[in-house]
Structure 1
Amino acid sequence: MSTSRYLSTEALSWLLDLGNVTSALLPEGSLLQPLWDHLQQHHHHLMRSPLFPVALSISTYFLLVGLYTGLDLLAPSWPSVNGYKLHPHKAVTWVGVRTTLRVTFYNHLLYMFPATLAQWLWRPDTPLPRDAPTLWEFLLGILGCTLLFDFQYYLWHLLHHRVPWLYRTFHAVHHQYNRPFSLVTQYMSGWELFTVGFWATVDPMLLGCHCLTTWGFMVFNIYVSTEDHCGYDFPWAMHRLMPLGLWGGSPKHDLHHQRPGTNFAPFFSHWDWLAGTDSSATDVSESTGDVFSRL
């Protein structure tokens, strides 16, 4: 046997051995398979319940707003945190916390609880596939759902600002705070909360996502929605991690609450760029300077 042929045979044997080791460590070739197997083994009945997505969404939301609200109340005496606030001289008060919580609980009891009850009574248990999605399927599924939700909400949001009756009847509640904090995320009319929740639920179905991907998107959607309203500009925020200014984040949405005719997209920036509804802090400072120059 020639030297080159011998080396080729050895290399092929080494690759086959490596493949066998990888398959043993990662069942079905998916990085998520061990996690999925663990969840199925220990939480099978919980995950099959139609109530599980609702419980996951609500618990994720209140966990996040609880953390941000704690920071809000501590920030005035905690300079290292207060320095990251978009409006460091405007403190979040207990009155604001109570008001936003009251509306949030009211909407959940009046709208979300009946919808949850109907889902529990009439929706069948969630089928759990044996195989987990691949890591690429998981990430691309979340990206696809986020892009679709972003497009839907941009059109819905634009319509509710351009049609006065829709704005007065449904969306004006959300704009009572021109400098939002995390609890303003769901400080909205019941109609708005229902439609946003409807898209977040239906979009993974439209894209045929694995249930693990669906739950991942729900958690991510709540995380970035809360971050948009948090009133902070932390170094790890999504708009700082995303290149080329593709993600609006809390600074852009904070500007939307000050200039309601701009920055309608909830997450990405491309629809506002294309439609000419984009606004930045520079635009606000320039327009403020023009006002002062005319006084």
Structure 2
Amino acid sequence: MTHINALDPGASPLDYYGFELRRLREAAGLTQRQLGEIVNYTGSLVGQIETARKVPTLEFSERVDAALGTDGLLSRLVELVLRNQLPAWFRQVAELQARAVEIYSFETHMVHGLFQTAAYARAVLGVLDQTHLDDRTAVRLARQRIFDKEEAPVVWAVLSQAALYQEIGGSATMRAQLAHLLSFEGTPRINIQVLPFSAGAHTGLQGSFDLYRFERDPAIVYTEGYGGSGHPTANRATVKKCSLRYDHLQAAALSLRDSAELIRRVMEERYAEQRDSDGDPVA
């Protein structure tokens, strides 16, 4: 077991967070158990975070900041911690998403990570690897904080109809995931369109891709492959071709209103909430 005194605050953002959490707690004269009781977490969890064996969440950080009067120190630091927990090859992409003023995405078979619910993300991430699943899920969901920025990016997402039918995590998870997509209905900065099966052959047949546009920097196209690798490129010819592909995908996709209606219909017909004989939802 790692001893807290052995932590090197310069080793990683996670180690630094643990070091600071312990310093702040001890300065307040609290034990791990006492702090846990105040913020409604277990003392064991506080200890695991202090020893860099557990990744803190934003909620945990906000509660500790409020309890210890740290002026948001841990809440600011946790963003760096969570970003550092991303796979090395994906950190650049997360940075691009955070800086982009416009994001255009096309997904062929599942919901984009920026719109995934916790249960859906957990099911996706746990297909081949169940280790540290809670932490990895929290890290993925943390990327969605870009929507909370004062100047949040404008996002257009084209989603293949197949993604609505690909049952990931079970019926209840899919129902909640589709309901989450519908929660963005009427939000000017987040626009979700469905590419229907009836579109036939389309310009996205080669696979999913993202297009990021920035205030001053050149646009970047991002594609993902097997083997844990991503491929961002600012090549002007590639960006131009993918921009044209995306224009055609949007033209072939359903309107925002019709897309929402299709999502709602699939949610109700394919993933209808199961009820018992008394009419109560079945867990």
Normalised by the length of structure 2, the TM-score is 0.28
Larger strand share, 1 or 2: 2
Higher Cα Rg, which structure: 1
Larger helix share, 1 or 2: 1
Larger RCO (CA within 8 A; separation ≥ 6): 1
Normalised by the length of structure 1, the TM-score is 0.27
